[in-house]
Each structure stands twice: as C-alpha cells, then as structure tokens.
Amino acid sequence: MELRHIRYFLAVANERNFTRAAAKLGIGQPPLSMQIKDLETEIGYALFDRTAQGVELTEAGQAFLQAVQPLPALAEGATASARRAAQGETGTLRLGFTGTAGMNPLIPGCIRAFRQAYPDVFLNVMEANSIVLLQALANQQLDIALLRQENAVPEGVRVQLLLQEPLVAALPADHPLARIRGKMTLPSLRDEHFILTPKESGTSLRESVLQACRQQGFTPMEGQPAPHIVSILSVVAAGLGVSLVPESMRQFSLAGVVFKQIKAPVPTTGLAVAWNDQALAATAQNFLTLVKASGIIV
C-alpha cells in the first residue's frame, strides 16, 4: 500500500463518484478504478458499493476512511519538516567561542541576528580556549567556533578572519602610567612583567602580544601565566604585572585595572570564525552565510 492509494481512496470517498474523483486527481477513470481495485484486493474487502449514481462506502470503507484520513496531512507535514531541517531552518547549531571573542560586540550581534533569522534552531553554546574549540571542530563536536586566529589548525578545519581588533594595555590601577592622560607607547612597558596565557591554553592572543613587543624592539618579560582573560585581569589587578588585551575588554569593569590605548603602530589581534569543511551542517552554513552577508569578513 502506497500513499497514492490513500489519496485515490480519499478522493473517491469525498466525491462519491469515480468520474469526478478522477478529474480532481488529474488522471483517467480506468486507472483510478484499477488502483482502488488493487487497494481492495490488498485489504481483502470491498471499500465501496458501486451504484447507478456513483459509489457508497461499505462498513470496511467507513472504518478505513476514519483511520487514513489524517495521513496525507501528516505526510505533507513530515515533508515540510524534512525540508526545513535540510535547509537549516530547524535543528541545532553547536556554537563555540573564546572568552575574549565573546566580549567583542560583533559576536553577540551575529548570534542575535541568527536567532532572529532562524528562531526554530536551538543554540548549544560552549566556551573554551581556541585550542579546545579547534579540536572540537575537528572531532565534529562543534559546528561553528568564534575565536582568536590561530596558526596551528587541525586538518579539515577552515578559519576565516573576521577583523583585526586593537589591543590595549591593562595596567594595575596604581601603576604610574595609569595616571597619565592620553595614549601610551608600548616600549614604555619594556621593564614590566607581562601576564600572558600559557601556550597550552591558546597561542593567538599570546603571540599577538609577543609579536607586537618584538616589533617595538623588545622581548617582554613573562610574569605569572593566566589561562583566561578574566584571570589575566585579576593578576594585573593584584599588581603582579601588565598585559595587552583586546580593546573590547574595556567594557569589562574590574576594580584595580586601568585600560590604556597604545600609540601607533597599534598592536592588533585577529578575530575569526572557524568550521569543519568536511562536516558543515545546514545550520552552520546558514550562520556563515549570515556572517558573510553582513560584510564583516575581511
């Protein structure tokens, strides 16, 4: 028994006439009569009594009508659901981001726009460092990651730069430079201990800081390492050193820390979107399309 048999049966049951049912279905009457006959043979009982005026449902036909009447609508609903899922309009988007990336206004803006465009997609959010996020993409545990640009990328994972974000100096509140108005030079911190993330937590922000200092003619002295941006600021607030952090962190108010802009050349760190090119879910494709349409990819 196929769905077309159900459709043919319902047309005849509604019209009580083979000729009108055939016209409604857009097929000839003989093929329609043959399909109904095949259906009755499969069931083992007559579904219609043929009369001079048309047809009437038998008791078996009445019972069959009651049971199958919802099926075409259910099939249409199932088809529509399958299409929406295939087009990424429903389902789940597994989204990861780093702590510093999440603080940039671009990231919540992208997420908000995606939620407005695809309200029926469930967002499963994960926060971790760049190395963990990249590995999760490689293992197909994430669909999209928003992170600081890394040089070492697992096979199959693609990283697209979104923008370069300026770095600012994070100083203890009692630091002499914290009280000076205006921008400061990066070499003025050459004798300070820099609070950086350890290599195992991610190299992107760390390398951006080291490279910026080297380009200004000095190699920074490394102080107490800190695994996350919040812990970096906490160590700075304790007076154990200074750091360079993304400018978006200035909105993160922490007692004991002062943020200072740096004179040109202004150091920067990359903000990127990453995905697994070999397992790109439809929901992830829609997220990427939305990000690209916004014109923020450089």
Owner of token pair 């295939």: 86
Q: Which amino acid is at 261?
A: Q
Max distance between CA atoms of the chain, in angstroms, equals 106
Q: What is the pLDDT along the chain (298 residues), one digit of tens a residue?
A: 788 888 988 888 898 988 898 888 898 888 888 988 988 898 888 989 888 788 899 999 899 889 888 888 888 888 888 888 888 888 999 999 888 787 788 888 888 889 999 999 999 999 888 888 999 999 999 999 998 877 778 889 999 988 889 999 999 999 999 988 899 999 999 999 999 988 876 678 888 999 999 999 999 999 999 888 889 999 999 999 999 999 988 887 788 999 999 999 999 988 889 999 888 999 999 999 888 776 555 4
Note whether residue 39 is domain-resident: yes
- List beta partners, residue 221: 193
Note whether residue 221 is domain-resident: yes
Residue 298: the pLDDT is 45
40 and 173 co-located in one domain: no
Give the up-direction half-sphere exposure of residue 255: CA atoms within 13 A in the CB hemisphere.
0
Print the domain residue range for 46.
3-69
- List beta partners, residue 172: 257
Task: Annotate 110-151 with DSSP letters as a single string.
Answer: HHHHHHHH-TTEEEEEEE--HHHHHHHHHTTS-SEEEEE--S
Note whether residue 79 is domain-resident: no
- Burial class from Cβ neighbours inside 10 Å (0-12, 13-18, 19+) for residue 231 reads middle
283 and 156 co-located in one domain: yes
Note whether residue 265 is domain-resident: yes
Closest listed residue to residue 294, CA positions, set 163, 134, 101, 145:
163
Residue 138: the pLDDT is 94
Alpha helix (H) ranges present in the chain? Answer: 3-15, 18-25, 29-43, 59-68, 71-86, 99-103, 106-117, 130-138, 204-215, 229-237, 282-293
Global pTM value = 0.74
The CATH number for 173's domain is 3.40.190.10
Note whether residue 78 is domain-resident: no
Residue 71: the pLDDT is 86
Contact status, residue 278 vs residue 155, Cβ threshold 8 Å: no
146 and 181 co-located in one domain: no
Note whether residue 262 is domain-resident: yes
Note whether residue 242 is domain-resident: yes
The CATH number for 59's domain is 1.10.10.10
287 and 154 co-located in one domain: yes
Note whether residue 237 is domain-resident: yes
Count of domains observed in the chain:
3
247 and 121 co-located in one domain: no
